[in-house]
Amino acid sequence: MSFRLRVFFMGLMTLALLFGFLHLFVPAGMDLNFDRLHIFLFNLCSGGTILIFHTEGRRHLSGQAVGFCALSLVYAVLAFLKIYLPAIVISLILAGVVERVRVRRFSFFPWDFFRSETPVADKFHQASLLCLSIGLVISTLVILNNEYLKVLSWSKLQLDTFFLGFSFPLSLITMSVMFSLMKDEFREWLGVLKNIDFWAVNLGVITFFIFILAELLIPQLVVTLILFAAVIVMYYLFDRLGLRVQQKNFLISGMAFLLFTAVSGILYIVLEVFWGYDSDRMNLLMRIHAFASLYGWNLSGLAVICRQHDFPIQLHSTRIIALHWLTVILLAPMGIYFRSVALAAVICYFLMLYFILFSEGVQSASRDTESSAETVVVYMDD
């Protein structure tokens, strides 16, 4: 990924987090939902563009990737301003771009999902693209229903609920990256376990969304426990089969974030089942859950994709991971209440992105040394 492109994504991702705290800095009484920009700039604009970049396998953004990025930015602003008719048109165009990229790389119908010989990494990759295009179409249908047609009046059929769903394609592409870094199965049952995990994750999330719409708490809890088990299995597979490369450090940390979100999600449902909904308690827990998912788990995968041609990179992975956890789990959730903590969270997040995106890769460093024998190699246990 070029230097200018990394600068662009670092700025866009930092701006995304900043919008999550902007309610603290605007005059009271302004009816602006900054969370939409907070979600869109990270999930759709940054994450969606990086997903297309990764799928096309180029060093630079293609014309359609640039077009997707530009249109997604316009879509984010329109959805934020609640200008829905042009947003609907742009959403369908974006879905078409994603499908064009997916069909070129894979096929129109996802036959590979049902083929045991297809690598699970490819299955997760195609599922990520398909999820993004379907999410764009469904969001359009929800806008049409809620703002114009008003055919369905379900209390949970809210735009912001479906907008949050744009994080799932990033989760799937992170899983694809993880499975691509696993050794080939040396035992047949491990290959079967990989495929079971693929179906458990995808069908589990689809079922979970259906239960949310139906407001069925106990089934939600059951599905969440199944997803938690699937994450445990994925962690086991990655720990056992994962190649000993520096990327593994970031992705193991990402898996820890994913486990954290699974536990926080289960806790959220349990509290609602047994103690009822409490806006203050639930809001903080949901914020922690969202930050860990977006800026913890998903960012780990996006960081590896952005630097995929540069690893190993010259940075102290443990320190960056510690800064990552401090920012996402402590500073960001508390930043929604306090301006000073919000600013600290944005600064730490910016520094973390800088070190991840701009730490010099060993390959480029070796070209600058007078002797190749002096090349510094940083392994995963740096």
Question: 293 lies in a domain?
Answer: no
Long-range own/partner contacts, residues 202-211 (CB < 8 A, 24 or more apart): 202/127, 202/172, 204/230, 205/168, 209/165
Contact 272, 289 (CB under 8 A): no
pLDDT of residue 185: 65
Question: 292 lies in a domain?
Answer: no
In three-state secondary structure terms, 32 is coil
pLDDT of residue 312: 73
Label residues 191-210 b or e (16+ Cβ within 10 Å = b): bebbbebbebbbebbebbbe
Domain enclosing residue 75, as ranges: 32-180
Reported as a single tens digit per residue, the pLDDT across 117-147 is 899 999 999 999 999 999 999 989 999 998 8
What span, in angstroms and rounded, lies between the C-alpha atoms of 300 and 177?
Answer: 10
242 secondary structure, DSSP code: B
Question: 263 lies in a domain?
Answer: no
What span, in angstroms and rounded, lies between the C-alpha atoms of 280 and 100?
Answer: 44
* Residue given tokens 């735009």 in the structure block: 159
Long-range own/partner contacts, residues 210-217 (CB < 8 A, 24 or more apart): 212/156, 212/161, 213/154, 213/156, 213/157, 215/155, 215/156, 217/269, 217/272, 217/273
Contact 172, 300 (CB under 8 A): no
Question: 159 lies in a domain?
Answer: yes
Query: DSSP of 139-194, one letter per residue?
Result: HHHHHHIIIII-----TT--HHHHHHTTHHHHHHHHHHHHHHTBPPPSSHHHHHHH
How long is the chain?
382
What span, in angstroms and rounded, lies between the C-alpha atoms of 310 and 247?
Answer: 10
Closest of 57, 22, 51, 50 to residue 36, by C-alpha: 22
Give this prediction's pTM: 0.89
Question: 268 lies in a domain?
Answer: no
Low-confidence ranges of the chain (pLDDT < 70): 28-30, 185-186, 276-281, 314-316, 361-382
Q: CB-based contacts of 103: which residues, under 8 Å, 6+ apart?
A: none
Q: How many domains does the chain have?
A: 1
Q: CB-based contacts of 145: which residues, under 8 Å, 6+ apart?
A: 151, 152, 157
Contact 68, 52 (CB under 8 A): yes
CA dihedral 307, 310, 314, 320 (to 10 degrees): 20
Closest of 195, 335, 171, 126 to residue 261, by C-alpha: 171
Single-letter code of the amino acid located at 312: P
